[in-house]
A and B are shown apart, each in its own frame.
Chain A
Amino acid sequence: MPGANYILNRVQKPARYVGGEWNIVRKNWESVSVKVAFAFPDTYEVGMSYLGLQILYYVVNSRRDALMERVFAPWIDMEKEMRERRIPLFSLESQKPVSDFDILAFTLQYEMTFTNVINMLDLAGLPLHADQRTDKHPLVIAGGPCAFNPEPLSDFIDLFVIGEGEEVLSELLDLWIDLEGKANRERFLVEASRIPGIYVPSLYEVSYKDGKIQSTKPILGEIPVAVTKRVVRNFDKVAFPDRPIVPTTEIIHDRIMLEIARGCTRGCRFCQAGMIYRPVREKSPVTLVSQARKLVANTGYGEISLTSLSASDYSCITDVVRQLLDELQGRKTSISLPSLRVDAFSIELAKEIQRTRRAGLTFAPEAGTQRLRDTINKGVTEEDLLTAVSAAFDAGWSALKLYFMIGLPTEKMEDIEGITLLSRRVLEKGLSMGVSPGRAKVTVSVSSFVPKAHTPFQWEPQAAQDYLIDMQKTLKKSLKEKSLVFHWHDPRVSFIEAVVARGDRRLGKALEKAWSLGCRFDGWSECFNNHLWQKAFELTGIEPESYAYKKYAYEDLLPWDHIHTGVSKKYLIREHQRAMSAEVTPDCRAGNCPGCGLCAEFLTEPELYGGRKIAEIQDVV
């Protein structure tokens, strides 16, 4: 980069752009057949905290015939410098322009990063639209949870990877090398679309009638009518980076991330992760201890975080924690659990491993009343919560965080009031247990419900923005005790999230317009500009309300219906109906299968250690 020192001295956090971290891989460009740039459409600090990046980096760089380098979204100040000086988007490892790579692979973790995806294509000097790119340009691919509704980005992305990327990415690279993908772009796309888990949007045509989707169909024969997600079958043995990149500058989750399990079967009805990461798979304790040992030695981190959607659900968690504590004691390495259940067992666990009580504990009751918690299938009672917080106060914590959602389907005023009442009860519990009033603190964090594709709530509308804003205000007013700290998530952002999360192909032009008007880093409150979004919708003739506020009927064709998670629609409908009558559905881990259909689809069953088995799969409606 010409004048690099000078430019880097003018931007915030220049370490974001220089690379050179411990354990990075730099390969000889001439010696590999395919070069992939992995793009994370957010800052370095966010992107480097994402385990998937480390995994795919390892998978690709383990191949002799391929290389992967990283690129992140430049912050506003850096973008300005780059545009002024015509510096194209470049990778961290070799500082080479992204346009020199064969494949540019985005990960889509959050809808509000979509304008950054477009911006990065533009900064790389690539035509934004897939159909304008030629063999001179890299192939642009994308994966991650938001790829489960790929339609809003289908104009911009050549190909989506649906589901877990570890194996399918390698198959894709093999095909690229076999077919000399660079020279045979179109043929490559057709062949790729036959790899399970690959969705090539340009090979599908969507027809509409009266504004409704009529069909989404492949335009050629021999192309799958629907794309089913990929799942790693032998999770215990799957490639796992034991030499992850260690950033030199502080990132959000600056510690070892050891993935102990994947998937969650608790079945919260709003939760997309719970559906798209099924089935539950656990790593064996032996694997975990040996990986932990290597990770500690190879990184130098003093903390190891056991990650999964719900860490305390791991079958042998106590055992593994104990073994790790023994193993790591001498190296003064601490363990943390980022995701805890609302129960006393989890607190016991947290108490055992947390050397410091300074960090707060977070609980997610999600809703203020039992009826609503049953509706969302949270499976937590007020008593559970109070037992858990008692255990936490007892163990020395004085600051707790409660996480709630408003605007959930069927919500009533008493559910909103319930949030205040429950929070107050938690605080009172602490005070009655002798936590000093000066130190006791309950943070009440309230966000708005966003209906997500592939969940039992996918048919539900989002609550009106005015209502959400009103409810946030009501809560703010009623939570006036000094020890109750109220945090809220901007409902205007949640609205855009809902629009994009349930968007279809037509939304692409609004995203592009929003970007061209200047939308960037929309997930960052200091950058979000609602006015620009409204203008983008207006200029493109898109009614955002028709996406966010739409209530779908079960018969309606949904924009993402041709993408399959393996969870049956029948099950989602049944869960939706049970939600409406506030009936809970137990976790299949508890022994009975409520029939989500996944195990049948993938000929698998939940993979648990410690010998537990699931009762025979039943599929009753």
Chain B
Amino acid sequence: MGVERLPRYRMLYSKDGPARFISHLDLVRTFERVIRRADIPAAFSMGFNPHLIFSFAAPLQVGIGGESEYLDILLKNEVPPEELYASIGSVLSEGICLKGIWQAPDDSPALMSVVEWAEYKVKVGLEEQLSAGALEGYIDSFLKQPEIIVGRKAKKGRVKSIDIRPGIYDLGGFIKDNTLILQMKLKTGSNGSVRPGETLDAFLEHNSLAVRPVEIDIVRTGVFLR
């Protein structure tokens, strides 16, 4: 195809504010328009409906912020990254922020296939006071379970039970002003992901913790590649 030899650029960006509420599909569409507005020599696919050649690291669920997200794009020719940074940076929709752009090896594997885990910060308001010591105990007991079964919606409205314990790589947390802040390292990638929301729910349920639901905030702080 020859497509492989086109220069590849990797962008690091964040997604918050109004952009937090757009779906992955909308994000793809939004970047397509951003790139067109930036008027950089982007490569297009062949065929009836030419489109830009993008590759995203890992889709983000609607409503979750992303602090360090990755996106690859192919260009027709090499352009100094500073130039790209300036042109793209000036035409981004609100809530999307370009944090860096650099040239990646032309033959690097698709981002999606090398994502292994992601890190999340989950903030939730607590109904009752909780001490740091107690929290540590809760986390320990949660992680000591041999399996953590959660229900996940499958096709046709059916609910499938799966064990998320092997996909929880790490869990830590602290309390600040009666807000519980959990840091999660969760399996993410093309062969299965654990979601921060279901992990939080399982944690709260396991420890019978009551929360003020109006104050839930989830941000993906990083996506980690193999």
Q: Which residues of A contact B (CB under 8 A)?
A: 2-3, 5-6, 8-9, 14-15, 17-22, 246, 248-250, 254, 296-302, 331-332, 334, 355-358
Query: Is B19 interfacial (CB-CB < 8 Å)?
Result: yes
Quick one: which of A6, A246, A249, A332 contacts B216, CB cutoff 8 A?
A6
B129-167: contact bitstring with A at CB < 8 Å (1 yes, 0 no)?
Answer: 000000000000000000000000000000000000000
Residues of B within 8 A of A19 (CB): 18
Is A9's CB under 8 angstroms from B63's CB?
yes
Query: Is B25 interfacial (CB-CB < 8 Å)?
Result: yes
> Which B residue sits closest to A354, measured CB to CB?
B48
Is A301's CB under 8 angstroms from B19's CB?
no
Is A302's CB under 8 angstroms from B213's CB?
no
Is B26's CB under 8 angstroms from A248's CB?
yes
Is A248's CB under 8 angstroms from B44's CB?
no
Quick one: which of B20, B29, B63, B213 contacts A250, CB cutoff 8 A?
B29
- Tell me the smallest distance from the CB of B146 to a CB of chain A, in Å: 31
Which of B3-11, B89-97, B104-112, B183-191 is the interface stretch? Answer: B89-97
Query: Is B206 interfacial (CB-CB < 8 Å)?
Result: no
Is A14's CB under 8 angstroms from B62's CB?
yes
* Most-contacted residue by chain A among B17, B32, B49 (CB, 10 A): B49
Contact A20 B48, CB 8 Å, known A3-B214, A14-B63, A302-B32: no
- Tell me the smallest distance from the CB of B216 to a CB of chain A, in Å: 6
Quick one: which of B21, B37, B48, B216 contacts A14, CB cutoff 8 A?
B21
Contact A248 B18, CB 8 Å, known A298-B37, A300-B32: yes
Q: How far is the CA of A323 from the CA of B18 in the complex (A)?
A: 38
Selected A-B contacts with CB under 8 Å, 17 pairs: A3-B214, A5-B216, A6-B213, A6-B215, A14-B62, A21-B18, A21-B94, A22-B91, A22-B93, A248-B19, A248-B26, A249-B26, A250-B25, A250-B29, A296-B36, A297-B37, A332-B44
| Seed contacts A14-B63, A21-B93; 4 additional CB < 8 Å A-B pairs | A5-B216, A6-B214, A298-B37, A302-B32
Residues of A within 8 A of B51 (CB): 302
Is A15's CB under 8 angstroms from B37's CB?
no
Is B26's CB under 8 angstroms from A20's CB?
no
Quick one: which of B26, B36, B213, B217 contacts A15, CB cutoff 8 A?
B26
B199-224: contact bitstring with A at CB < 8 Å (1 yes, 0 no)?
Answer: 00000000000000111110000000
Residues of B within 8 A of A332 (CB): 44, 50
* Most-contacted residue by chain A among B19, B26, B33 (CB, 10 A): B33
Is A5's CB under 8 angstroms from B91's CB?
no
Is B22's CB under 8 angstroms from A299's CB?
no
Is B22's CB under 8 angstroms from A248's CB?
yes
> Which B residue sits closest to A7, measured CB to CB?
B214
> Which B residue sits closest to A331, measured CB to CB?
B36
Residues of A within 8 A of B95 (CB): 20
Q: How far is the CA of A298 from the CA of B217 in the complex (A)?
A: 34
Q: How far is the CA of A209 from the CA of B193 in the complex (A)?
A: 72
> Which A residue sits closest to B61, measured CB to CB?
A9
Contact A299 B18, CB 8 Å, known A6-B215, A14-B63: no
